Structure 1
Amino acid sequence: MRDSSDLLLDVEPLAAGFDPGRLEAIGEALTPYVDDGRLSGWLVTVAREGRLVYAEGSGYADRERGRPVEPGTIWRVYSMTKPVVALAALGLMEEGRFALDDEVSRWIPAFAEPRVFAGGSAEAPELAPATRPMTVRHLFSHTAGLTYGFQRRHPVDALYRAAGYDFLMKPGVDLAEAVDEWASLPLVFEPGTAFTYSVATTVLGRLVEIWSGEPLDVHLERRVFAPLGMVDTGFSCPEGKAERLAQLYLPGREGATPFEEWGRFALHPPRLVDGGGGLVSTAADYHRFMNVLVGRGTSGEVTLVEPATFDLIARNQLPGGGDLAATALDRYGLAENAGLGFGLGMSVVLDPAAARTPVSAGTLSWGGAASTTFFVDPLEGLSAALYTQLLPSGTYPLHQSLERAVYAARA
């Protein structure tokens, strides 16, 4: 029987439209990062129409303990959690639990009277009542006016940090408590008028709990992980699998440096189940999830959303139909902001030439804080992902390198 964490190839490269020699160039492009110590290790998967055509890794999952990267290595995927939560939420929309343009305050009353930062400083903010409501659609698309404390580019970011929310969540609070606390903080802008990367998907995870009547982790297990066979995915790494968990690293002058203080958090079930960044997973598991995106909501006999709903995911939701260059207050995407939009839960390529990418228009992608990244090109039937564990994302242009290498490998 095939092991759930294996990465056995499903098709020969030429049969899937790839040149075998050019596929090997993917690893050749990444090996120097391991050789000079910038990365401890990496693993890449490439698939066509859901069938694995390339699955290779190099280096160490935990360099200091001598544990190599293996097919079953467990990775902190951080913000690659967001697309998973988005699809789970949209499944509930199909059941009639909510509509995209419903007001968030219908289920979370703390958002009934939001205030918007209008000037001043974090120490003395000037606030004004919001003139438009925050909707569920705004949460999916990061246009709600929420933010992240770690961004450090707006006074409201500092207010999040003062409340205890930086890169890590505030100790001792659960999801409902955190969401209510964020609702008491000012919005960066009027809902629906701009984009800023934020805790919005974490709030969406709280709504999934309310709509489903289940804790977020329980709902994802029942509706996503179990049906797809994602047996190694969850909000912590169980004790029996701890030896498979990759080490977390920070960049240093002499190469990647272990960051065990944060790395060990993944070994313990969290009090705050974070739908914006809390999952650990394997390459095999996340490949199963990407297959749902390739299949416009369906993989094999499992359907998470219908094709019409998937089309909403891939439709740009940014104000005025603009790209991130026109609407974003930050650069927390995967590529240049020009030509890149944002759908329901992940980025979408609007103009490949403007985005300076070889992928097709409509390609979906996102990444995680520890430099994991993926993309799905529905037009080509292509999916690819890269796994490593280096904080922060964007230290090296890994996503762009992955795209170029994969498309160069086509026969």
Structure 2
Amino acid sequence: MTETMGRRAFGVALAGSCISAMLPAPGFAAAGDGKTLSAALDAWLAKIVDNGWVSGAAVRIVRPGAATLTRLHGFSDRESRTPLSEATIYRVYSMTKPITAACMMTLVEDGKVRLDQPIREFLPEWSEPQVLVRFDGDKPVTEPAKRPITVRHLLTHTSGLSESFNKGFDPSAELYHRIGLVAGQFRPSLGITSLKRYSEVLATIPLAFQPGEKWLYSSGLEIAGRIIEAASGQDYATYLGVRLLKPLKMVDTHFALPASKRSRLATMYVGGPDGKTMRLNPPMIPAWGEDNVIPMGGSGLFSTLGDYTRFAQMLIGHGVLGGTRVLSARSVQAMMSNQLPAALGDMPLSAAARFGLGGEVKGLGFGLGGSVLVDPAAAGGIGHRGEYAWGGAASTTFWVDPVTRTSVVLMTQKLPSGIHPLRDELRRLVYGNLP
């Protein structure tokens, strides 16, 4: 596999990080008991590993009144036959976004940030954003933004920002490529060594649309990380560690993976033309985990099955985990409530889901940092209103169901997400076999 192929796969994968909203499937098995769920999960994991769709996968399901169900099958490194373990570390890519949204809410609670506060009050480079109207030949024609970008816009992908992986359906994405602001592969001449510099470079690109008028999967959560820095006076990684990771005991969740833990990092695989996976060599993977890592608010974390489950369970607990409160119930409710105005129309995430998953998601809105199920009937009758979810480029995913108070986390390492409908199958399996 060539390096060009690897970079292309990663580019598609980052597009697939938007993916990881929820792809419902029609119909599911009759409800069963916990043993039925365990057996069904074992059979499914064996199938996806034995068919070569993934090297290995791990699932953890936590629900009230039942023992935690953890199942692992396959390898963290298929070639060396290293089995998955509960200590295996994964690149969670866009599953960073809900964590960043939660971190932002700590500042909202402290009175240092307001959701509807213009970001220009923190970052002067966003004082006068321009909006792309059209191209005159190769030259972009712009107009001034009618309103300021707000913190809420960043957290809900309604800011007007775009990303390089939107090329093909968002004209402004071409400008990201022109200057070399390509997701995971920033041109060295841009000198991006911090979130501050990233924000300054991004602010030179016209917005894709007027703030608040559309939904487009974007780099907004990256800039949210920069807002956290400006409002807290600390770099994002430090602040996140103090306010969320440490109190939640997420001891293996990092932006820069310590050298002592790198042997636990799962190998990355990429989908091949036959539907099976091929090993993706390290030089083809962005150097997250090495020295001088930029703590990107939308895509940069490493984590484990257990750590991410702790975050999901905090959401189920309305901001509390193990007797420790990290967020108010009101903040969690805001995260898990649809924030999109009715004026945007029905199901604005559907196009993004088709782009990433090759299927159509219906019934979704968007909260702060993650999708929210607002119409279970439109989603094929699977799940409950208020289900909050997101996923990552390497086929990781999670959701929390506030009705059944159940959390589900899937970890694997396959780029791009959506080649095989893993999350579709898992949701059908879980909802079809819960008592």
> Deviations for 1:278-320, whole angstroms, at most 9, x for unmatched residues?
0000001111111111111111222221111222112211132
- Partner residue in 1 for 2:21: none
Offset at residue 349 of structure 1 (A): 0.2
- Partner residue in 1 for 2:242: 222
Offset at residue 36 of structure 1 (A): 2.0
In 2, Cα distance between the equivalents of 1:180 and 1:120?
23
- 1:18-167 pair list within 5 angstroms: 18-49=33-64, 53-120=68-135, 123-152=138-167, 153-167=169-183
In 2, Cα distance between the equivalents of 1:169 and 1:104?
26
Offset at residue 196 of structure 1 (A): 0.5
Letter in 2 for 1:164: G
- Partner residue in 2 for 1:250: 270
> Deviations for 1:54-98, whole angstroms, at most 9, x for unmatched residues?
101111111122211111100000000011111011011000001
CA contact under 8 A between 1:363 and 1:376: conserved in structure 2?
Answer: yes
- Partner residue in 2 for 1:278: 300
Letter in 1 for 2:176: Y
Q: 2:280 aligns with which of 259, 278, 281?
A: 259
CA contact under 8 A between 2:270 and 2:279: conserved in structure 1?
Answer: yes
> Deviations for 1:250-287, whole angstroms, at most 9, x for unmatched residues?
11135211112244723413442111010000001111
In 1, Cα distance between the equivalents of 2:132 and 2:434?
49
Offset at residue 49 of structure 1 (A): 3.9
In 2, Cα distance between the equivalents of 1:29 and 1:202?
35
The alignment status of 1:407 with 2:431, answered yes or no, reads yes
Q: 1:181 aligns with which of 201, 215, 224?
A: 201
CA contact under 8 A between 2:164 and 2:182: conserved in structure 1?
Answer: yes
Offset at residue 31 of structure 1 (A): 2.0
CA contact under 8 A between 1:121 and 1:155: conserved in structure 2?
Answer: no
SS in 2 for 1:380: coil
- Partner residue in 2 for 1:330: 352
CA contact under 8 A between 1:357 and 1:403: conserved in structure 2?
Answer: no
- Partner residue in 1 for 2:321: 299
CA contact under 8 A between 1:373 and 1:385: conserved in structure 2?
Answer: yes
- Partner residue in 2 for 1:365: 389
In 1, Cα distance between the equivalents of 2:66 and 2:138?
54
- Partner residue in 2 for 1:13: none
CA contact under 8 A between 2:351 and 2:360: conserved in structure 1?
Answer: no
TM-score (norm 2): 0.86
How many positions carry a matched residue from both structures? 395
> Deviations for 1:207-263, whole angstroms, at most 9, x for unmatched residues?
111111111111111111111111111013221111110011111135211112244
In 2, Cα distance between the equivalents of 1:122 and 1:167?
25
- 1:206-221 pair list within 5 angstroms: 206-221=226-241
CA RMSD of aligned residues (A): 2.0
- Partner residue in 2 for 1:3: none
In 2, Cα distance between the equivalents of 1:56 and 1:121?
55
In 2, Cα distance between the equivalents of 1:383 and 1:400?
16
Taking structure 1 as reference, are residues 317 and 225 closer, same or farther at Cα in structure 2, changes over 3 Å only? Answer: same
Taking structure 1 as reference, are residues 299 and 149 closer, same or farther at Cα in structure 2, changes over 3 Å only? Answer: same
In 2, Cα distance between the equivalents of 1:300 and 1:155?
47
CA contact under 8 A between 1:78 and 1:370: conserved in structure 2?
Answer: yes
Q: Percent identity?
A: 38
- Partner residue in 1 for 2:377: 353
> Deviations for 1:172-225, whole angstroms, at most 9, x for unmatched residues?
412111111111111011000110011100000001111111111111111111
- Range moving further from structure 2, 253-262 or 61-70: 253-262
Taking structure 1 as reference, are residues 346 and 300 closer, same or farther at Cα in structure 2, changes over 3 Å only? Answer: same
TM-score (norm 1): 0.91
Letter in 2 for 1:67: T
Taking structure 1 as reference, are residues 346 and 270 closer, same or farther at Cα in structure 2, changes over 3 Å only? Answer: farther
